[in-house]
Amino acid sequence: MRLFLSAAAINGALAVLLGAFGAHLLKQMITLEMLDVYKTGVQYHFYHTFALLAVGILWSQHPSGILKWSGYLFMAGMAIFSGFLYLLAITGIKALGMIVPIGGITLIAGWICLLVHVWKTRPSN
C-alpha cells in the first residue's frame, strides 16, 4: 500500500511540475503541435496518478495479487506513455512515438487488472 500511495504522491507532484514547465517554459521552445503532444503526456500522467492513488486505497482494504499488478502496470504505463510523449515533444524525434503505444497498452492492462480485482473482491457489507 505504501509503495502505491507514495508513487501516487510523487507522480502527482511530478505531473504538476512537468505541466508548469510545459505551460511556462517549454511553450516558447517547441511547436504548437509538439506542445499538444506534451500536454497529452501531462493529462495521462495526472489521470493515472489518480488511478494509482485508488489502487493504494483499495490495497489498504482488500490486498490482492491482481491489484498489485494493476499498480505496477499503472506505474510502468505512466513512465512509458507519458515519458516518451515528453521526450518526443522536447526532442522532436518522431521514432520515439513508436514506443508510446506500448505504454498505452500497459495502462489498459492496469485498468483491466483493476476491474478483475473489483469483480473478485467480495463486498464487506
- Nearest alpha carbon to residue 3 among 65, 80, 66, 55: 55
Give counts: helices (H), strands (E), the chain.
5, 0
Asked if the model's pLDDT at residue 125 lies above 90, the reply is no
- What residues does each domain of the chain span? 2-120
How large a percentage of the chain has pLDDT more than 70? 98
Single pTM value for the model: 0.94
Three cell numbers written together for 99: 514506443
3-state helix, strand, coil in the chain (%, to 5): 85, 0, 15
The answer to whether the beta carbons of residues 107 and 77 sit under 8 Å apart is yes
pLDDT tens per residue, range 74-94: 999 999 999 999 999 999 999
pLDDT tens per residue, range 20-57: 999 999 988 999 999 999 999 999 999 999 999 999 99
The answer to whether the beta carbons of residues 110 and 47 sit under 8 Å apart is no
